[in-house]
């Protein structure tokens, strides 16, 4: 199952551009009121108040609305054009809590790599678990512990997840 389609990328880009336009409108309204108070009514106190209020509103909007969309669009751009790698593994766990990585919310997705039994110098079995990141905005799959998976990832970010493609063990 592909996590991201072209429509998701276009929606993220469109959402970011809409928020840039709103930020531009806030800036234009602030400048228009500033010019009005300075040139027409010649009230410096109100001009300073409008300038401070406009700057505070722009700062709030930038941090609370625009930057999260920008980070998500940038993340989708990276996974769309970046180099991915495939791995066969078994599901271990998916956390309920979220964490932020590169400005985007993710859930921890732990897998065990499918390798032949490897042992270290002491003869102990090597435990090769990997921490991947599942987009918190996407619906989590119903997986059982030990279920075989085929994962395509960009770094630690899961791009696609398949459960039926492994030989000898699909559900």
Cβ neighbours of 32 (radius 10 Å): 12
CATH number, residue 56: 1.20.58
**Range of 110's domain?**
85-162
pLDDT of residue 155: 94
Domain stop point among 64, 81, 98: 81
pLDDT of residue 126: 72
40-46's contacts with Cβ under 8 Å and 24+ in sequence apart are none
Cβ neighbours of 169 (radius 10 Å): 12
For the chain, the C-alpha Rg in angstroms (whole number) is: 24
Burial grade of 95 (CB within 10 A; 0-12, 13-18, 19 or more): middle
Q: Which of 114, 106, 46 is nearest to 75 (CA)?
A: 106
Question: Are residues 64 and 101 both part of a single domain?
Answer: no
Question: Are residues 13 and 60 both part of a single domain?
Answer: yes
Q: How far apart are CA 134 and CA 120, in angstroms?
A: 31
Say if 167 falls within a structural domain.
no
Question: Are residues 146 and 98 both part of a single domain?
Answer: yes
Per-residue pLDDT of the chain (171 residues; tens, 9 = 90+): 899 999 999 999 999 999 999 999 999 999 999 999 999 988 999 999 999 999 999 999 999 999 999 999 999 999 999 999 999 999 999 999 999 999 999 999 999 997 766 666 776 677 789 999 999 999 999 999 999 999 999 999 999 999 964 444 444
Question: Are residues 66 and 114 both part of a single domain?
Answer: no
Question: Are residues 118 and 70 both part of a single domain?
Answer: no
pLDDT of residue 116: 65
pTM for the whole thing? 0.80
pLDDT of residue 145: 94
pLDDT of residue 118: 65
Domain count, the chain: 2
Question: Are residues 90 and 145 both part of a single domain?
Answer: yes
CATH number, residue 120: 2.40.50.140
Question: Are residues 59 and 93 both part of a single domain?
Answer: no
pLDDT of residue 7: 95
pLDDT of residue 119: 66
């Amino acid at each position: 199952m592909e996590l991201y389609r072209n429509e998701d990328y276009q929606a993220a880009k469109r959402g970011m551009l809409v928020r840039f336009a709103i930020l531009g409108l806030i800036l234009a309204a602030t400048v228009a009121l500033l010019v009005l108070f300075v040139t027409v009514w010649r009230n410096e106190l109100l001009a300073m108040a409008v300038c401070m209020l406009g700057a505070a509103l722009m700062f709030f909007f930038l941090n609370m609305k625009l930057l999260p969309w920008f980070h998500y669009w940038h993340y989708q751009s990276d996974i769309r054009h970046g180099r991915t790698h495939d791995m066969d593994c078994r599901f271990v766990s998916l956390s309920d809590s979220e964490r932020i990585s590169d400005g985007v919310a993710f859930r921890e997705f732990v897998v065990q790599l499918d390798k032949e039994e490897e042992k270290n110098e002491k003869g102990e079995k090597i435990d090769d678990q990997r921490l991947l990141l599942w987009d918190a905005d996407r619906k989590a799959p119903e997986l059982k512990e030990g279920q075989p998976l085929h994962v395509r990832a960009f770094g630690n970010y899961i791009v696609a997840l398949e459960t039926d493609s492994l030989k000898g063990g699909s559900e």
